[in-house]
Amino acid sequence: MIRSEILREIAPILRDQLVVCNIGLPSQELHMIDDQPTNFYMLGTMGLSSSIGLGLALAQDKTVISIDGDGSVLTNMGTLPTIANNVADNYILLIIDNGSYGSTGDQPTYAGQKTSLSAVATACGCDNVIEVQDKDLGPVLQKAIDDRKMTVIVCKCDSGNIKLPVITMDPVVIRDRFMKAVAG
Amino acid sequence: MDINKKIVDDFVANDVSFITTVPCKQLAGVIDEVEARDSIYHIPSNKEDEGMGLCAGAFMGGKRPAIIMQNTAIGVTINTLATLIQYYRMPLPMLISYRGELREPVACQVEMAVHTKALLAQMNIPTYHFHWQKDVEEFDNILKYTFMCNKPVAILTDANFWGGYGDQ
């Protein structure tokens, strides 16, 4: 499965949760598949989906899912020790690990070669790290939500993209709509 | 006057309850004071752009955030300031140790100091420079201004403000 197929499959699970979605194609795909006020789309700033999600989870009680990519986590690897040492049981980091920088033309990442992000997360001290194959993600994600334990999920999948438009919604509108959903 | 205590008192009085820090020798006292306060969630960051991501999330979760960092971080965070904090219009007080200014003992620090105000000006970031201890009296107003206008605001604090490094 490629990332857009995974997002389509887990969209019903994501719908009722606060979602911080990674820059580029992941946000565009989620926006196209199931746009919700509870989705925060990143339009810039590669690497910070996990950090924004953790800050949000620490600030309020609702479940937060950060959808990140392997390339973005590699960009902001310091996020993993911060997550490990600031436990928020309403926080799930979902790394869709397709071993490539998808939004820029599928250049290979080191996570698709010798580097294991689940091993890195474990070494950083994250307590619940689950590596899962694409087709098995749905039940694992649902269980992580139900268990209310901070969880890092590394979902291994194929690289590949679909053609779709950019998000034209104004960033302040995205943010305002999202904050109302957070507070509601 | 204990400037560390005064700064953190002002944070608390302005309802700032989520502070991320990347350390600097000049900031050690204020970071200790942040850590000591029950009403503040102190979350050390590994890098300043990561810290700004945490602050953005905390803000959207209903908390007033702040970041404490060194001016070298301006070189790290330009993209994050432009495409996250400014683009989504979020408030962010940035208490910044202004290394490489008067009474600085480390020559290399001057190399970023000479760019600091120019970069902040280029980014249209409101910038205040604390040189004398009495300048801290403005801090409360700066925090109110930051959360009024929903912008990142820089407070540069040099070695003279913090009392220098002793005899040089």
In this predicted structure, the answer to whether residue B167 has a pLDDT above a threshold of 90 is no
Please name the member of A45, A54, A171 whose beta carbon is closest to the beta carbon of B79: A45
β A64-69/B16-21 pair status: unpaired
Residue B143 is inside which H or E element, if any?
A: helix B139-149
- Give Cα separations from B45 to A76, B22, B133, B140, B155 (angstroms): 11, 6, 27, 24, 19
| Domain chopping of chain A, boundaries | 3-183
Nearest to A59 among B62, B82, B88 (CB): B62
Tell the CATH superfamily of the A3-183 domain: Thiamin diphosphate (ThDP)-binding fold, Pyr/PP domains (3.40.50.970)
Hey, what are B146's tokens? Answer: 């930051």
Pairwise CA distance, residues B112 & A174, whole Å: 35
Give CA–CA dist B68/B8, Å, rounded.
Answer: 11
B41-44 and B64-70 beta bridge pairing:
unpaired
Domains of chain B: which residue ranges? 3-104+131-161
Tokens encoding A57? 């989870």
A–B CB contacts, 8 A cutoff, strictly below: 116
Write out chain B residues lying below 8 Å of A83, CB-based: none
Question: Mean pLDDT across chain B, nearest whole number?
Answer: 96
The answer on pLDDT for B166 being more than 60 is no
pLDDT for the residue numbered A11: 98
Q: Alpha-carbon distance B100 to B165, whole Å?
A: 12
In this prediction, the residues of chain A whose per-residue pLDDT falls under 70 are none
* Integer Cα distance of A87 and B151 in angstroms: 29
Q: Give B162's contacts (C-beta < 8 A, 6+ positions apart).
A: B3, B26, B29, B97
- In this structure, what DSSP letter does residue B87 have? T
pLDDT of residue B1: 80
What is residue B70's three-state secondary structure?
strand
Q: Which residues of B touch A40 (CB under 8 A)?
A: 60
Q: What is the pLDDT of residue B41?
A: 98
pTM, 2 dp: 0.97
pLDDT in tens, A100-132: 998 898 999 999 999 999 999 999 999 999 999
Residue range B64-80: mean pLDDT, rounded: 97
B97 touches chain A (CB under 8 A): no
pLDDT of B16 strictly over 60: yes
Tokens of A112: 């698709």
Tell me if residue B100 falls in helix, strand or coil: coil
pLDDT at B168 over 50: no
Q: pLDDT tens-digit profile of B129-139?
A: 999 999 999 99
Q: Which residue of A has its CA nearest to B44?
A: A82
- Buried residues in A35-61 as b, exposed as e (16+ CB within 10 A): ebebbbbbbebbbbbbbbbbbbbbbbe
pLDDT 10s digits, B26-43: 999 999 999 999 999 999
> CA-CA distance, B14 to B29, in Å (whole number)?
20
- ipTM at complex level: 0.97
Determine the distance in angstroms separating the CA of B42 from the nearest CA of chain A, rounded to an integer.
10
Characterize B111-132 residue by residue with b for buried, 16 or more Cβ atoms within 10 angstroms of its Cβ, and e for exposed: ebbeebbebbeebebebbbbee
Task: Specify the CATH number for B3-104+131-161; select among 3.30.200.20, 3.30.56.10, 3.40.720.10, 3.40.50.970.
Answer: 3.40.50.970
Q: Cα–Cα distance between B114 and B2 in angstroms, integer?
A: 29
Q: Which residues of A touch B43 (CB under 8 A)?
A: 55, 58, 82, 86
Give the relative orientation of helices B28-36 and B3-13 as an angle to the nearest 10 degrees. Answer: 50
